[in-house]
Amino acid sequence: MLNISNNKLNQKVNIDNYVSFKKVFHDRDYKHFNRFLKAFSIILLIVLFLPWTQNVTSIGNVTTLRPDQRPQTIQSPIPGRIEKWYVNEGDFVKKGDTILFISEVKSDYFDPNLMQRTQKQIDAKGKSVNSYENKVKSLENQVTSLRKELVLKTEQTKNKLLQAKLKVTNDSIKFEASKTNLSIAERQYKRTETLEKEGLKAVKDVEEKKLKLQKTQAEIIGAENDLLASKNEVLNARIELNRIAASYNDKISKAESDMFTAQSSQFDTEAQVTKLENSFTNYSLRNDMYYIRATQEGYINRALRGGIGQTFKEGEPLVGIMPSKIDIAVEAFIEPIDLPLIHKGESVQIQFDGWPAIVFSGWPNASYGTFTGKVVAIENFISSNGKYRVLISPDPDTPKWPDALRAGSGARTMALLEDVPIWFELWRKLNGFPPNYYQPTNGKTSGDSKK
């Protein structure tokens, strides 16, 4: 009854005489129900004070501990066309086994004799380099010969210059001697002429002295002419010396210029040879890339490019491979609010898909089918799903993880924290508070501390 009317029916009608009322509202039933409520309240009160282990749960999946052991794809570094498959999906391959063969799609590499032609170009350019080397050596010898000849010519001309200087000295002495003879002849002539006037000398003596004077005058003119000629020879020797130096320097410069030109051509040809050798090596490596090989031991998961004659670009994945030997790990994603509670070396309980378990979060000892792992890495930057990635590896001191685990299967993780009363955990959940903050002491986890 809602008691919204002033006409109280229960006050006007007596229901005690009805059979149904007597069956329902019996005093004995009241006693049993009250006892049940009291017992339930006592049990609930006791349960509220029982211990509860706080935990951080997360959803993840099985992966590998090392990046090189994770599923990967094999790409081709060059574009091509699929010609032949050597494996099927699910096959086991070893490192270096051929998976498929491709052919060329670029017109620059269509020539089947490309490597032979490139080798001929290398040989021809190599001979050209040898020719330039011989030319450089010949020009070096020519420069050396010109330098030696310059030294000899210079010494010869210096000797001529020295001879000319000595001749100038000799002619100068002769010229001075001629001037002395002329002075003596003039005095003798004047003396003889005076004595002839006084009658002491004959006219013949005067004529002899006059003739001697004229000869002496002629000799002095010849001596002066010889002196001037000798000086002219000195000048000519000096001019010849400068001419030889200039002439041979010009020849040497021209020979050196030709040598440098030959060296430049040699270096340019050597660069072309190096470029051709690089191209030859690239062609050889490219021919080896026509065979796509397995990068490591594993199983062929899936052919991402099928059929024959299908073309692809460089870097496109062709086939997926899963390594055969892997170190199993679990990657879990933790809420940001729980991240401060997770530390490296922390023990974590894991339940894998396919291995059903009876899990009681508060009583891990009563759980079955869970496996223990240790946190080995915590991501420092949030993932795209808004959570932080945690990597968990097997704990060597606990039972081994199932051998049939495969990378990619699901996993549920549970990190056990501190023990608190159940009433505290309920109160925390109702208020949306995080679990109690704690730090491992002496490098031990909370589980180690509780032990």
Question: Is residue 335 in a domain?
Answer: yes
- For residue 319, is pLDDT > 90? yes
Q: Is 318 buried (19+), middle (13-18) or exposed (0-12) by CB count in 10 A?
A: buried
Supply the CATH number for residue 305's domain.
2.40.50.100
232 and 180 both lie in a single domain: yes
Q: Is 367 helix (H, G, I), strand (E, B) or coil?
A: coil
Residue with tokens 């590499």: 109
* Same domain assignment for residues 366 and 407: yes
Distance between CA atoms of residues 436 and 416, nearest Å: 11
Question: Same domain, yes or no, for 264 and 304?
Answer: no
309 torsion bin: left (phi>0), alpha (psi -120 to 50), beta (else): left
Cβ 305 vs Cβ 89: under 8 Å:
no
Residue at 58 is within a domain = yes
pLDDT of residue 448: 45
- Average per-residue pLDDT for the chain: 82
High-pLDDT (> 90) share of the chain, %: 19
- pLDDT, residue 449, reads 39
Total of domains in the chain? 3
Q: Are residues 143 and 261 in the same domain?
A: yes
User: Residue 145 carries which side chain, given as an amino acid letter?
Assistant: S
- Which of residues 193 and 42 earns the better pLDDT score? 42
pLDDT digits (tens, 9 = 90+) for 221-241: 887 788 888 888 888 888 888
pLDDT at 2 over 60: no
Residue 99 and residue 89: Cα distance in Å, rounded? 11
CATH of the domain at 209: 1.10.287.620
Give tens-digit pLDDT for 267-299.
999 999 999 999 999 989 888 899 999 988 999
Is 79 a member of any domain?
yes
Q: For residue 9, is it within any domain?
A: no
Of the candidates 410, 400, 414, the one whose C-alpha atom is nearest the C-alpha of residue 352 is: 410
Pick the residue with more confidence: 18 or 274?
Answer: 274
Domain boundary among 288, 315, 335: 288
User: Rounded CA gap, 354 and 371, in Å?
Assistant: 13
Question: Domain span at residue 434?
Answer: 52-69+326-450
What confidence score (pLDDT) does residue 278 get? 93
> Does 294 lie in the same domain as 279?
no
Statement to judge: residues 88 and 148 lie in one domain: no
Residue 21 resides in a domain: no
Domain membership flag for residue 17: no
- The model scores a pTM over 0.75: no
Q: Are residues 174 and 257 in the same domain?
A: yes
Q: Are residues 118 and 263 in the same domain?
A: yes
Per-residue pLDDT at 330 exceeds 90? yes
Which pLDDT band, with edges at 50, 70 and 90, does 451 fall under?
very low
Residue 416 lies in a domain: yes
Residue 445 pLDDT: 47
Note the pLDDT tens digit of each residue in 354-373.
Answer: 766 555 555 554 445 688 89
Listing DSSP states for 246-257 in one string gives HHHHHHHHHHHH
Please tell me the predicted confidence (pLDDT) of residue 438: 57
My answer on whether 191 and 266 are in the same domain is yes
Domain boundary pick from 237, 262, 288:
288
Q: Examine residue 45 and state whether it is found in any structural domain, yes or no.
A: no
118-144 average pLDDT score: 90
Q: In terms of domains, do 299 and 273 share one?
A: no
Q: Which CATH number belongs to the domain containing residue 413 in this structure?
A: 2.40.30.170
Single out the residue in 288, 304, 336 at which a domain terminates. Answer: 288
- Pair (187, 266) in one structural domain: yes
**Based on the domain organization, do 266 and 340 belong to the same domain?**
no
What is the pairing mode between strands 347-352 and 371-378? antiparallel
Tell me the C-alpha to C-alpha distance, in Å, between residue 448 and each of 56, 60, 395, 443: 17, 24, 14, 9
